[in-house]
């Protein structure tokens, strides 16, 4: 679990910002703008994308073809963001996302990563014993379903497209978005009606 920022680390941050400002590499305005973009982002954006993909075949096709364009179509700010890979869960394959090297995460769509996503335990265990990790999240993957873990190490970020649960026929897009949890879009959960 990431520790909360200490006084020392905040002082170091101030010095770093001052040094970068002096060199003309970053401005207060740019930092404020970037913070605002990140603060605006929340799993709600990803959930709306999933709900639309469940109900609109054209949007589903766009999402699978060009994740970034699909995110922008829902109002997400993707300028300068890495490519977005969309991982579609099926009855035969369940996807799980981890960044073993650091904490790469689709912040533009899901907001800040949860503490456990950045923890050493999750990062080291998800690639080695994904079924045990998922069981600890309360998710028991059928033996017949293969698991594919995606180690987000470089220039892509990933969004899991969970399966639409049975019993949601006729639901509105808004109702559907309400059952798409953050964990379902990381792969440590599923959507349930």
Partner 1 sequence: MSAAPDSPAPRFAAGAQVRVKDDWPETRGPCHIRTPYYVRGRLGRVVRPLGAFPNPEDLAFARPAPRRQLYHVLFEQPPIWNEGKAGDTVMVEIFEHWLEEA
* 72, 74, 76, 82 alpha-carbon torsion, rounded to 10°: -50
Q: Is 152 a catalytic residue?
A: no
Question: At its nearest, how many Å lie between partner 1 and the CB of residue 153?
Answer: 5
Strands, E assignment, 111-185? 146-151, 156-161
Say whether residue 173 binds partner 1 (CB under 8 A): no
Which tokens is 165 given? 């649960």
> Among residues 27, 42, 77, 102, which one is catalytic?
102
Rounded to whole angstroms, how far apart are CA atoms 189 and 183?
5
Say whether residue 58 binds partner 1 (CB under 8 A): no
Say whether residue 16 binds partner 1 (CB under 8 A): no
Question: At its nearest, how many Å lie between partner 1 and the CB of residue 72?
Answer: 19
> Among residues 99, 119, 124, 172, which one is catalytic?
99
Say whether residue 33 binds partner 1 (CB under 8 A): no
Q: Determine which residue in the list 15, 34, 65, 146 makes contact with partner 1, applying CB under 8 A.
A: 146
Q: Is 102 a catalytic residue?
A: yes
Strands, E assignment, 31-183? 83-88, 93-98, 146-151, 156-161
Rounded to whole angstroms, how far apart are CA atoms 92 and 147?
9
Q: Determine which residue in the list 154, 172, 174, 193 makes contact with partner 1, applying CB under 8 A.
A: 154
Closest by CA position to 178, among listed 165, 188, 57, 58:
165
* Residues with active-site annotation: 99, 102-104
Binding site residues, partner 1, CB under 8 A: 83, 100-101, 127-131, 143, 146-156
């Amino acid at each position: 679990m990431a520790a909360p920022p200490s006084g020392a680390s905040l002082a170091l941050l101030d010095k770093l910002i001052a040094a970068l400002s002096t060199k003309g590499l970053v401005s207060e305005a740019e930092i404020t703008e970037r913070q605002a973009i990140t603060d605006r982002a929340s799993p709600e954006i990803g959930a709306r994308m999933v709900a639309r993909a469940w109900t609109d075949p054209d949007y589903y096709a766009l999402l699978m073809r060009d994740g970034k364009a699909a995110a922008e179509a829902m109002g997400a700010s993707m300028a300068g963001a890495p490519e977005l890979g969309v991982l579609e869960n099926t009855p035969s394959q369940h996807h799980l996302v981890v960044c073993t090297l650091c904490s790469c995460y689709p912040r533009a769509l899901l907001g800040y990563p949860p503490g456990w996503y950045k923890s050493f335990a999750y990062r080291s265990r998800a690639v080695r014993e994904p079924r045990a990790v998922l069981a600890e999240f309360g998710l028991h993957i059928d033996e017949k379903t293969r698991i594919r873990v995606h180690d987000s190490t470089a220039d892509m970020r990933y969004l899991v497209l969970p399966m639409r649960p049975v019993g949601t026929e006729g639901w509105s897009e808004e109702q559907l978005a309400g059952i798409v949890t953050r964990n379902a879009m990381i792969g440590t959960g599923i959507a349930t009606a």
